[in-house]
Structure 1
Amino acid sequence: MSARADTQSSPIDSAKLLAAVALFLAGVAGFYWFGEFSVLYRALALVLVAAVAAAIALTSERGRAAWAFARDARQELRRVVWPTRQETLQTTLIVIAMVLLVAVLLWLLDMFFLWGVEALVRPGG
C-alpha cells in the first residue's frame, strides 16, 4: 500500500463520509416509512440511495483507499491456485474419515470412563 493510507483525513472527507452514512440510513428509514408502497419500488429506491451514498463515500480519501484495497484483494484472489475437483473430493473424504475416527475414539473413551465411574460408585461394588 502507499504511504498516503497513513495520513489523516481532512474535515471535508469526514463530512463526506458522514453525509454518505446519513444518506444511507435515511434510505433505510425511508424503506420502512413507505411500507404501503410495493417492495419492488422501495428496494429499487434503496439500491439507488445506497449507490449515491457509495459514490459520495468514494470521493473521500478513505473511500478511495477502501476501493483500492478491494481492487487489490480482487487481483490477489485471481492469483489463487484453486484445487481440482479430485483434490477437493479426496480432502473432503479424508476429513470425514478423520472425524468419524475421532468420534469413535471419543465414544470409546467416554464408555471407559463411564464404566470406571460406575465401578467406583456402584453400591456393593
Structure 2
Amino acid sequence: MNAKSQVEVSSMDTVKLLAAVVLIVAAILGFYYFDDYSQLLRVLGLLLVIGVATFVAYQTVVGRTVWQFASDAKIEVRKVVWPSRQETVQTTLIVFVMVLIMGIVLWLFDMMLGAILRMLTG
C-alpha cells in the first residue's frame, strides 16, 4: 500500500522559493555581467549566492522534503552491493560477444533477405 501525504505549501513558502530562484538568476547574470573581474572571484560569488539560495529554499516545506529525499537516496546507495571489477569485466565481455553475435546473425539475415528480394525482382 502506498500512503500519499499532502504537503501544505503556504504563501510564505512560495515567496521563499521565488526569492531563491531570483537569487540564483541574479547570481548567474552577475557572473556574466562582471566579466572583467577575476573568474575566481566571480565563481566564489556565484557559489556563495547559490549557498544562500539553497539555505532560503531549505526553510520551506518543499525544500526540507527535497533534502530528506536526497538523504534517503544517499542511504539507499550505501545499501547497494556493487559488482567487483572481475564481475564488471566479465559482464562487459559477455555483452560485447552477444552484440557481436547478434550483429552477425542480423547481417546474415539481411543478406539472405536481400538475395531473396533480388531473385524475386530479377
User: Relative to 1, partners in 2 of residues 1:4 and 1:24: Cα closer, same or farther, differing over 3 Å?
Assistant: farther
Count of residue pairs brought into register by the alignment: 120
Which digits, 9 at most, give the CA deviation of each residue in 1:50-98, with x for residues without a partner?
1110010001110011001100100011000111111111111111110
User: Is the CA contact 1:5–1:65 (under 8 Å) kept in the aligned structure 2?
Assistant: no
TM-score, structure 1 normalization: 0.90
> Sequence identity, in percent?
47
Alignment RMSD (CA, Å) = 1.5
Equivalence for 2:103: 103
| Structure 1 residue runs of 4 or more that deviate by more than 6 Å after TM superposition | none
Q: Which runs of 5+ in 1 are unaligned?
A: none
Partners of 1:39 and 1:87 in 2: CA distance = 44
Q: CA deviation at 1:38?
A: 2.0
Partners of 1:38 and 1:69 in 2: CA distance = 37
**2:71 counterpart of 1:71:** yes
TM-score, structure 2 normalization: 0.92
User: Is the CA contact 2:7–2:61 (under 8 Å) kept in the aligned structure 1?
Assistant: no
